[in-house]
Amino acid sequence: DCSVGSHIKNKALELHSSFKSSDTNKQTIISLGLNSILSLTLNYPEGQSTLFDPAQWRDLKRKFPRRKYETSQYDHIKYKLHLLLSCHKVGNSWNKNWYKLYRITKALQKEYDAEENGECEEEDFCLFFIESILKLQKHHAYLFDDNVDKSKWDYICKLWSPIMEKLFAGSSLRLKWGDTKLSLADIEATNDLKPDLRILQDEIVQRYNRETDIAAFEVSKEDPGVQKFQSDHCKLMLECKTIIDMYISKGFDVDNVDCIQICGLDIIISNLCLSAPGLYIGNELFYGSIKGWVRGTWIAYRDSKSKLPPAPPNLVA
């Protein structure tokens, strides 16, 4: 018998010489195993789950349960924005529903303006998010069309960049877009990792600005395929490990880091935690799909006779 950390690393060492010719699952096993990472985000028989039998995999998921975000603290926001949940009417035209939603959103934005009242930041962000989706549906509806080819930059420029910048505005954190290397100041390590987006904390050290990474994002187009999806996931886990190791080497008590993987209109928030000496555990914290929330509700169908379904109850949530 050997520990979980030893088991995944030994298997990775056994396979690493054939990395380039290996399938996606084996490449995941090699990349994560060599870095002492066990990702529990995938289901059997995907990724590292194939190193264990189904019962062992279930036991590991029970031993290292994923942490869930507590969303009940935001119930008051759904109450304040209840008008948006009730204004959509089945049978109304797409334009009529859209304009009614837009008018109510703009009216509520005047009431919950974070620039005038800092206590309304959460409501202000939710309304900005809804307004962004409404404008996306009207002016960039092709992003919801499976028959139109899109690149990851379509989603970054038209949706995720403005939303993320709004989310972190006033937080003292800075977003750095584009393929730039993680900052490893004062750390002796090889660093070829370039996230699509880095969340940074700036500080002045001897008159010069120093960047410290807080979290990383990877972005792909919608339905990127198994190979691209798992490749981005592995990259994120390695980026999180690098950030954790950087903090620990500096003496900070930081043993876990969150990261975000975006696939078109889908968003996955994951966490990597140093759970034991020589073992990092990755878990999914949240999955959400904008297309799943609004598709078919306010998007015009190709067939004008198609009946509109009722509004999804979790639109604001």
Q: Which residues of 53-89 are buried (b: 16+ CB within 10 A; e: fewer)?
A: eeeebeebeeebeeeeeeeeeeeebbebbeebbeebe
Share of the chain above pLDDT 70, in %: 89
- Token representation of residue 165: 């910048």
- How large is the average pLDDT for residues 189-209? 87
Angstrom distance (rounded) from CA 184 to CA 243 = 8
- pLDDT tens per residue across span 37-65: 999 988 878 889 999 999 999 999 999 99
Helix (H, G, I), strand (E, B) or coil at 166: helix
| Pairwise CA distance, residues 102 & 105, whole Å | 5
- Give the N- to C-terminal CA distance of the chain in Å, as an integer: 46
At 92 the pLDDT is 84
The per-residue pLDDT for 185 is 59
Please tell me whether residue 69 adopts helix, strand or coil conformation.
coil
Kindly report, residue by residue over 73-126, the tens digit of the pLDDT. 888 888 888 888 778 787 888 889 899 999 999 999 999 999 999 999 999 999
Tens of pLDDT, residue by residue over 235-272, are: 999 999 999 999 998 899 999 999 999 999 999 999 99
Rounded to the nearest integer, the mean pLDDT of the chain is 87
Burial (CB < 10 A; 0-12, 13-18, 19+), residue 139, is exposed
> Which 8-state DSSP code applies to residue 95?
H
Q: How confident is the model at residue 140 (pLDDT cuts 50, 70, 90)?
A: very high
Asked if the peptide bond before residue 45 counts as cis, ω within 30 degrees of 0, the response is: yes
Beta bridge partners of 183: none
206: left (phi over 0), alpha (psi -120 to 50) or beta: left
Provide φ and ψ at 204, rounded to 5°: -95, 120
User: What is the pLDDT confidence band of residue 297, given thresholds at 50, 70 and 90?
Assistant: very low
Distance (Å) of CA 15 to CA 1, 18, 30, 237, 303: 20, 6, 7, 19, 52
Q: What is the pLDDT of residue 62?
A: 93
Q: What is the pTM of this model?
A: 0.86
Could you identify the residue written with the tokens 């987006």?
Answer: 197
- Rounded Cα–Cα distance for residues 270 and 272 (Å): 7
Q: Which residue has the higher pLDDT, 68 or 286?
A: 286
Position 189 scores a pLDDT of 56
pLDDT at residue 190, rounded to an integer: 63
User: What pLDDT is recorded for position 188?
Assistant: 54
